[in-house]
A and B are shown apart, each in its own frame.
Chain A
Amino acid sequence: MDAYHSYYGVEWYFFLLVWGIIALGSHVYQVGFVVKLIRLGKNDDRFNSWKQRTKEFLTDWLGQRKVVEDKLAGYAHALIFWGFLMLVSDVIDLSTGGYFAKFLGLIYLANLWNLIVDIGYLMAGIGILFALYRRLIVRPEKLKDSSLEGVLILFAILGIVITAFIVEAIFMLGDEPHYNYWEPIGVLFAKLMQDIEPDTLQVIVDVSYWLHMILIGGFLIEIPQTKHSHLIGTIPNVMFQDHEKMGTMLPLQVDEDNAAVKTDDLDFDNLTLGVNKFEDFTWRQLSDGWACTACARCQDVCPAYNSGKELNPMQIIMDVKNYGKEHGSLLLAGESPDETIVDRFSPEAIWACTTCYACVNACPVHIEHVPKLTDTRRHLVMEASEFPEELQNLFNNLERNSNPWGLGAHTRADWAEGLDLKIGEPAEYLFYVGCAGSFDERNKNVSRATAKLLKAAGVDFSIMGEMEMCNGDPARRAGNEFMFQMMAEMNVDNMNSLGTLKVITACPHCFHTIGKEYEKYGGKYEVYHHSQVLNELKQKDKLKIKDYGDKVTFHDPCYLGRIGGETEAPREAIGGELIEMERSREKSFCCGGGGARIWMEEDADKRVNEIRAKEAVNTGADCVAVGCPFCMTMMSDGLKTLGEEQRTVKDISEIMLENLEE
């Protein structure tokens, strides 16, 4: 018994044809619209490294590698996804009145195919049931704002699964039941329904069949519009994921060798500085909008969002998609809507980002949130000149005295007084002190501790002294790419003239900028974080550090742990009784200082560092170990605000020096 008969004198396939044309037509039209929108974006040549990309596609898209990082929801989704892949060909069979199965039968694949489809529906069904349970009964915090859309979609898929089984089952019934055990669930359903009146069964199979096809058609129409667009959107997104090292920002213009075009050679008349309009984004930045599933994992880990600020990384991605949808026709006609994408994001949100990359790290489909914010910052700083007042001071200070506080450049090496260090001479290593380590009282101690330890271990190193300049990181993250470029070019000149290619730094931001971003400006250096060098010396017994029993917790700096890839060296270096915070290593929660935010105002009730400080307090540790001058400041301030001054904040080098055996 099946639904393949005429209805009111019209054959079933006519109805299907009409519906198919409508649904597929709408689908193709909408997808085409979105593709055109995305193609408005600028060029980004990711059509390379095909072998690597294919492998990544298989593990990340097919294998759901990042999706299953969230065990519960992740595996539920994997079930639905894999189940879907397995069952999707069933629609061909259902649309051809069963001829597809017959065709497969000719090549002896029918049974296997039936089994796969059935298991597929089952997996999807189980996954959906779990998802519904999570969304409706458990109601996790992050989903409390979720719209009806998600629930409806889940129910719709469930409907497709159940109607599929019903149709399968009734197909097995009729005058004589003929159970096909290659469709085990179908058999189950059939056995449950075998006693129903044939007339009723006919009605049920008809209704189920058409409900099934209507739902499928409905999905085709709905997919490009809702977050279901990720079905298609994730394909280019995962395939063409970012191969640059995490956190590296790109120069204004690059030449054929992928090196930055020198400041003097930049063609300003034809250069767009950052992003203001929709089409200023690259196509890959735009495709993010349609890859997002609104899973809120980025939102969960975002320090800005969690401290009550205007920024919500998920919203930013939704903004791209929604803006595209709303202004699509204008954009495709080559016109500029009154509202720009910067207006849509809102400058307040743009400035709230600490560039910690937790969002990018958490995203299962390789969406790149941070570059959208740093690119819009570039426009706000270099074109619109609209940015927080405090940054004006920052820029002026960097320009005049090459440090963010505008303190006398000639006092840069004062911290080293009395330490008898090599200054400005070639040596095996260059200890790049950085601005905080040179000018901030608290951090000068860290520089001194590091220098003393290196000396004690007999490492041959020198410092640049007055010649050292800020590496430009604050300017770059704040969007003043022009200033950064000039600073980078100058620094590379200076550093190259020293001839030393191995660099040690106690600041993860210097570690990142000099180690990974200076390459494009002609500066290729081997850069080590001081924890890496000091730990190696400790392991090799060049530094004898005695054990101590204090309870200590380590706050992984974003630019060392998550972005820098180094989480173990600091831990081995500090020793003690290490208690981990709830969020540690690559999942470390930002201290709030990055993205030039340490120089910007923050409302008293929206403090990122207080959130992290509380987490540290919860470990019960007496000492919070840090490996970054920003973290040092932010954690100290945070603890003070919480009234927890009795807990100390110390740098890795300070802890090691304290416990150095003479």
Chain B
Amino acid sequence: MNIAVLIKMVPDTESKLEVNDGALNDQNFKYMVNPYDEFAVEQAVQFKEAEGGKVTLLSLFSEDNSIDTDLRKMLAIGADEIIVLRQQGYRGDKPLANAKALSDAIKELNIDLVLCGIQGIDYYQAATGTMVAQMLEMPNISGVTSLEYNSGTLKAKRQIEGGLQTVETSTPAVITCQKDMTKVRFPALKDIMMSKRKPFENKNVDPIDSKDALTSESSLPPARDGGEMIEGEDAEEKINKLIEKLKMEAKVI
């Protein structure tokens, strides 16, 4: 079974976030493999170990090659090769354009299954994987928490409100992976060393004009400096204040 795993390089969650003049400053971002995509790599390798075939990692990024070491670690999990699509002016928040670049690359390979994380921890759109499916005219199942493969049929479980939906489909298909779908192995040092010898291809792709909605302005949410202790005459008053703040200020309920 030939599997393509889509990997997104995302800024480290702990990176310092600065907004200057309405634009997010990404100069000092350090990039890492999107954690959701790691589950996809692990799942792909497990399928390969059971069914045979090849696992190709695909990543779309700019020409910056500081990401190469981390990508190679994905090879160490057990993938066979990696193709990095290098695009000038690449942006992580253009799912339509990025999906186009990725699906064009997938079309050139003979792929039975496309796996990727459900969303990137940068923009949380959860869009690229599904868009790739549409562009490849393949069915997709998103947010999968467990995946099985048996003679051409995929059986996936995904979380829906209040329950678990089991969906089956034949390959080729696109599956986007939810957190903890499987346990990602920690590659042994030898595998990390061996991965240095696996094929690592850089391929230039043209920038794509797309209909993606662009961000006109970025801002930091109002700073909640170190936290607020809620005062009140009694418990009831404090609770009312808390709920109001959670609703109106933090907008979390």
Q: Do chains A and B touch in the complex (CB under 8 A)?
A: yes
Interface residues of chain A, those whose CB is within 8 Å of chain B, are: 268, 273, 382-385, 387, 389, 392, 395, 400-401, 406-410, 482
A409 CA / B30 CA spacing, docked (Å): 11
The answer to whether B14 has its CB under 8 Å from any CB of chain A is: yes
Q: Are B14 and A407 in contact, CB atoms less than 8 angstroms apart? A: yes
Dominant secondary structure of chain B at its interface with chain A: loop
Q: Cα distance A463–B16 when bound, in Å?
A: 21
Bound: A409/B190 CA distance, A = 29
* Most A C-beta atoms less than 10 A away, residue of B14, B183, B185: B14
Q: Does B12 belong to the interface (CB within 8 Å)? A: yes
**B14 touches which of A384, A387, A401 (Cβ 8 Å):** A401
Residues of B within 8 A of A395 (CB): 186
* 23 A–B pairs (Cβ distance < 8 Å), ordered by A: A268-B190, A273-B189, A382-B188, A382-B189, A383-B188, A383-B189, A383-B190, A384-B188, A385-B187, A385-B191, A387-B186, A389-B183, A392-B186, A395-B186, A400-B12, A400-B14, A400-B30, A406-B14, A407-B14, A408-B14, A409-B14, A410-B16, A482-B189
Which residues of B sit under 8 angstroms from A383, Cβ to Cβ? 188-190
A385, A407, A408, A410: the one contacting B188 at CB < 8 Å is: A385
Contact status B193-A268, CB under 8 Å: yes
Q: Report the separation of the CA atoms of residues A482 and B32 in the bound assembly, to the nearest whole angstrom.
A: 20
A438 to B189, CA, bound (A): 30
Complex formed: what's the CA distance from A573 to B97 in Å? 65
* Nearest chain B CB to A272 CB, angstrom units: 11
Residues from chain A with a CB closer than 8 A to the CB of B190 are 268, 382-383
Interface size on B, residues (CB 8 A): 15
Q: A408 to B191, alpha carbons, bound, how many Å? A: 29
Main secondary structure of the interface of A (DSSP, over half): helix
Q: Is B134 part of the contact surface with A, judged by Cβ < 8 Å?
A: no
Q: Mark B159-197, 1 if CB is under 8 A from A, else 0.
A: 000000000000000000000000101111111010000
B202 within 8 A of A: no
Given contacts A268-B193, A383-B190, A400-B32, contact A408 B185 (CB under 8 A): no
Considering the chains assembled together, what is the distance between the CA atoms of A409 and B193 in angstroms?
Answer: 27
A409 to B28: give the CA distance in the assembly, Å: 12
Q: Does any Cβ of A come within 8 Å of B204's Cβ?
A: no
Taken together as a complex, chains A and B put the C-alpha atoms of A482 and B76 apart, in Å, by 15
Q: For residue B188, which residues in chain A have a CB less than 8 angstroms away from its CB? A: 382-385
Decide if A385 touches B186 in the complex (CB within 8 Å): yes
A148 to B101, CA, bound (A): 76
Q: In the assembled complex, which residues on chain A have CB atoms less than 8 Å from the CB atom of B30?
A: 400
B15 within 8 A of A: yes
| Residue among A273, A387, A408 with most chain B CB within 10 A | A408
Residue of B at shortest CB range from A269?
B193
Top 6 closest A-B pairs, CB basis? A408-B14, A382-B189, A385-B188, A410-B16, A268-B193, A385-B186
**Cα distance A385–B16 in the bound complex, in angstroms:** 32
Residues in B with CB closer than 8 Å to A407 are 14
Interface centre among B16, B186, B189, B191 (most CB of A within 10 A): B189
The residue in chain B whose Cβ has the minimal distance to the Cβ of A408 is B14
B194 (CB) vs chain A CBs: closest residue: A268
User: A242: shortest Cβ distance to chain B, in Å?
Assistant: 26
Which one of B12, B32, B188, B191 has the highest number of Cβ atoms from chain A below 10 Å of its Cβ? B188
